[in-house]
Amino acid sequence: MHKDCERIMLTEEQLRARVKEVALQVDEIYKDKRPLVVGILKGSIIFYSDFIRFLTMPVELDFMAVSSYGSGAVSSGKLNIKKDLDRDVAGRDVIIVEDIIDSGFTLANLKALLTERGAASVMIVTLLNKKDRREYDIAPDYNCFDIENEFVVGYGLDYNEQYRSLPYIGILKRSVYEK
Protein backbone atom coordinates (compact mmCIF):
# COMPACT_ATOMS: atom_id res chain seq x y z
CA MET A 1 0.00 0.00 0.00
CA HIS A 2 1.16 3.57 -0.71
CA LYS A 3 2.73 5.22 2.33
CA ASP A 4 0.29 8.17 2.13
CA CYS A 5 -2.72 5.88 2.49
CA GLU A 6 -4.24 5.07 5.85
CA ARG A 7 -5.91 1.92 4.53
CA ILE A 8 -7.32 0.34 1.41
CA MET A 9 -11.07 0.90 1.11
CA LEU A 10 -11.65 -1.11 -2.09
CA THR A 11 -9.24 -3.69 -3.45
CA GLU A 12 -8.54 -4.37 -7.12
CA GLU A 13 -10.61 -7.55 -6.86
CA GLN A 14 -13.61 -5.78 -5.31
CA LEU A 15 -13.43 -3.06 -7.96
CA ARG A 16 -13.20 -5.52 -10.85
CA ALA A 17 -16.12 -7.63 -9.62
CA ARG A 18 -18.48 -4.75 -8.94
CA VAL A 19 -17.62 -2.79 -12.10
CA LYS A 20 -18.35 -5.91 -14.13
CA GLU A 21 -21.66 -6.44 -12.35
CA VAL A 22 -22.83 -2.87 -13.01
CA ALA A 23 -21.54 -2.83 -16.61
CA LEU A 24 -23.48 -6.00 -17.43
CA GLN A 25 -26.67 -4.43 -16.07
CA VAL A 26 -26.14 -1.36 -18.24
CA ASP A 27 -25.25 -3.57 -21.20
CA GLU A 28 -28.60 -5.30 -20.94
CA ILE A 29 -30.48 -2.00 -21.11
CA TYR A 30 -28.66 -0.64 -24.15
CA LYS A 31 -28.24 -3.85 -26.10
CA ASP A 32 -30.27 -2.65 -29.10
CA LYS A 33 -28.86 0.88 -29.02
CA ARG A 34 -25.65 2.67 -29.88
CA PRO A 35 -24.98 4.93 -26.90
CA LEU A 36 -22.45 7.69 -26.61
CA VAL A 37 -20.39 6.92 -23.52
CA VAL A 38 -19.12 10.16 -22.01
CA GLY A 39 -16.23 9.99 -19.56
CA ILE A 40 -15.69 12.94 -17.28
CA LEU A 41 -11.96 13.63 -17.11
CA LYS A 42 -9.83 12.97 -15.35
CA GLY A 43 -11.08 11.01 -12.35
CA SER A 44 -13.19 8.57 -14.37
CA ILE A 45 -10.46 7.32 -16.73
CA ILE A 46 -9.69 3.99 -15.09
CA PHE A 47 -13.28 3.21 -14.16
CA TYR A 48 -14.33 4.23 -17.68
CA SER A 49 -11.80 2.00 -19.41
CA ASP A 50 -12.71 -0.99 -17.25
CA PHE A 51 -16.46 -0.33 -17.59
CA ILE A 52 -16.60 -0.05 -21.39
CA ARG A 53 -14.75 -3.33 -21.87
CA PHE A 54 -17.72 -5.20 -20.42
CA LEU A 55 -20.19 -3.60 -22.86
CA THR A 56 -21.15 -5.70 -25.86
CA MET A 57 -23.23 -3.21 -27.87
CA PRO A 58 -21.52 -0.81 -30.28
CA VAL A 59 -20.51 2.27 -28.32
CA GLU A 60 -18.99 5.59 -29.25
CA LEU A 61 -16.60 7.21 -26.82
CA ASP A 62 -16.34 10.87 -25.94
CA PHE A 63 -14.99 12.94 -23.06
CA MET A 64 -15.56 16.16 -21.19
CA ALA A 65 -13.34 17.86 -18.68
CA VAL A 66 -15.03 20.00 -16.08
CA SER A 67 -13.89 21.28 -12.76
CA SER A 68 -15.83 21.67 -9.59
CA TYR A 69 -13.03 21.27 -7.09
CA GLY A 70 -9.93 23.44 -6.92
CA SER A 71 -6.75 21.82 -5.66
CA GLY A 72 -8.23 21.28 -2.22
CA ALA A 73 -10.81 18.94 -0.75
CA VAL A 74 -13.89 21.19 -0.83
CA SER A 75 -16.26 21.71 -3.77
CA SER A 76 -15.97 25.26 -5.11
CA GLY A 77 -19.54 25.57 -6.41
CA LYS A 78 -18.78 26.65 -9.99
CA LEU A 79 -18.83 24.28 -12.96
CA ASN A 80 -16.20 25.17 -15.52
CA ILE A 81 -16.12 23.32 -18.88
CA LYS A 82 -12.44 22.84 -19.67
CA LYS A 83 -12.96 20.43 -22.58
CA ASP A 84 -16.26 19.95 -24.36
CA LEU A 85 -17.55 16.93 -26.28
CA ASP A 86 -16.43 16.29 -29.86
CA ARG A 87 -19.82 14.79 -30.73
CA ASP A 88 -23.25 16.35 -31.05
CA VAL A 89 -25.49 14.70 -28.45
CA ALA A 90 -28.80 15.66 -30.11
CA GLY A 91 -30.95 12.55 -30.43
CA ARG A 92 -28.31 10.35 -28.78
CA ASP A 93 -28.60 8.02 -25.82
CA VAL A 94 -25.85 9.25 -23.52
CA ILE A 95 -24.21 7.38 -20.66
CA ILE A 96 -22.21 9.68 -18.38
CA VAL A 97 -19.43 7.79 -16.58
CA GLU A 98 -18.13 9.55 -13.49
CA ASP A 99 -15.80 8.48 -10.69
CA ILE A 100 -17.59 10.09 -7.78
CA ILE A 101 -20.74 11.99 -6.90
CA ASP A 102 -20.29 14.23 -3.89
CA SER A 103 -22.43 17.38 -3.63
CA GLY A 104 -24.00 16.42 -6.96
CA PHE A 105 -23.21 19.81 -8.47
CA THR A 106 -21.18 18.44 -11.39
CA LEU A 107 -23.64 15.76 -12.46
CA ALA A 108 -26.74 17.91 -11.92
CA ASN A 109 -25.24 20.54 -14.21
CA LEU A 110 -23.95 18.06 -16.78
CA LYS A 111 -27.24 16.23 -17.02
CA ALA A 112 -29.10 19.52 -17.47
CA LEU A 113 -26.61 20.64 -20.12
CA LEU A 114 -26.78 17.44 -22.19
CA THR A 115 -30.57 17.34 -21.91
CA GLU A 116 -30.72 20.95 -23.08
CA ARG A 117 -28.54 20.01 -26.06
CA GLY A 118 -31.19 17.49 -27.09
CA ALA A 119 -29.87 14.13 -25.86
CA ALA A 120 -32.57 11.46 -26.25
CA SER A 121 -31.66 10.07 -22.83
CA VAL A 122 -28.99 10.68 -20.21
CA MET A 123 -27.98 7.88 -17.85
CA ILE A 124 -25.52 8.48 -15.03
CA VAL A 125 -23.14 5.73 -13.95
CA THR A 126 -20.85 6.37 -10.99
CA LEU A 127 -18.15 4.39 -9.28
CA LEU A 128 -18.55 6.00 -5.85
CA ASN A 129 -21.46 7.77 -4.20
CA LYS A 130 -21.04 9.96 -1.10
CA LYS A 131 -24.77 10.08 -0.39
CA ASP A 132 -24.46 12.03 2.84
CA ARG A 133 -22.77 14.90 1.03
CA ARG A 134 -25.56 15.55 -1.48
CA GLU A 135 -26.63 19.17 -1.90
CA TYR A 136 -28.23 18.94 -5.36
CA ASP A 137 -31.26 16.88 -6.36
CA ILE A 138 -29.54 14.27 -8.47
CA ALA A 139 -28.80 10.56 -8.09
CA PRO A 140 -26.85 8.13 -10.25
CA ASP A 141 -28.92 5.61 -12.21
CA TYR A 142 -26.22 3.05 -11.47
CA ASN A 143 -23.58 3.28 -8.78
CA CYS A 144 -20.91 0.77 -7.80
CA PHE A 145 -20.21 1.66 -4.16
CA ASP A 146 -21.81 3.91 -1.53
CA ILE A 147 -19.06 5.34 0.63
CA GLU A 148 -18.72 7.49 3.74
CA ASN A 149 -17.19 10.95 3.62
CA GLU A 150 -13.56 9.79 3.51
CA PHE A 151 -10.83 11.36 1.36
CA VAL A 152 -10.35 8.64 -1.24
CA VAL A 153 -7.63 8.36 -3.89
CA GLY A 154 -6.55 5.85 -6.51
CA TYR A 155 -8.26 4.08 -9.44
CA GLY A 156 -8.35 7.49 -11.17
CA LEU A 157 -9.04 9.67 -8.15
CA ASP A 158 -6.44 12.21 -7.09
CA TYR A 159 -5.28 14.63 -4.48
CA ASN A 160 -3.33 17.45 -6.12
CA GLU A 161 -3.02 15.28 -9.28
CA GLN A 162 -1.27 12.50 -7.36
CA TYR A 163 -2.29 8.88 -6.66
CA ARG A 164 -4.51 8.43 -9.77
CA SER A 165 -2.56 5.37 -10.91
CA LEU A 166 -2.98 3.36 -7.72
CA PRO A 167 -4.88 0.20 -8.72
CA TYR A 168 -7.08 0.28 -5.58
CA ILE A 169 -9.14 2.93 -3.76
CA GLY A 170 -7.29 4.05 -0.65
CA ILE A 171 -8.13 6.45 2.14
CA LEU A 172 -5.62 9.28 2.21
CA LYS A 173 -3.92 10.01 5.51
CA ARG A 174 -5.27 13.19 7.04
CA SER A 175 -1.69 14.41 7.57
CA VAL A 176 -1.18 14.53 3.77
CA TYR A 177 -3.95 17.03 3.03
CA GLU A 178 -3.86 18.93 6.30
CA LYS A 179 -0.19 19.88 6.19
Query: Where in the sequence numbering do the catalytic residues fall?
Result: 102
Closest distance to ligand PRP from the beta carbon of 116 (Å): 18
Distance from CA of residue 100 to its chain's centroid?
A: 5
Site track for ligand PRP across 137-156, x = CB under 6 A: --------------------
> Out of 12, 18, 57, 75, which residue is the one contacting ligand PRP (CB under 6 A)?
75
Q: How far apart are CA 35 and CA 92, in angstroms?
A: 7
Paired sense of beta strands 75-83 and 60-69, if any: antiparallel
Which residues are within 8 A (CB) of 74 and not within 5 positions of it... i.e. 6 or more apart?
none
Q: If you write DSSP's letter for every residue of 58-100 in order, what string do you get? A: --EEEEEEEEEE-SSSSEEEEEEEEE--SS--TT-EEEEEEEE
Q: How far apart are CA 100 and CA 41, in angstroms?
A: 11
Closest distance to ligand PRP from the beta carbon of 152 (Å): 11
Closest distance to ligand PRP from the beta carbon of 51 (Å): 14
Shorter beta-carbon distance to ligand PRP: residue 68 or 121: 68
Residues 54-73 contacting ligand PRP, CB under 6 A: 67-69
> Out of 95, 96, 99, 124, which residue is the one contacting ligand PRP (CB under 6 A)?
99
Which residues sit at the interface with ligand PRP, rule CB under 6 A?
Answer: 40-43, 67-69, 75, 98-106, 158
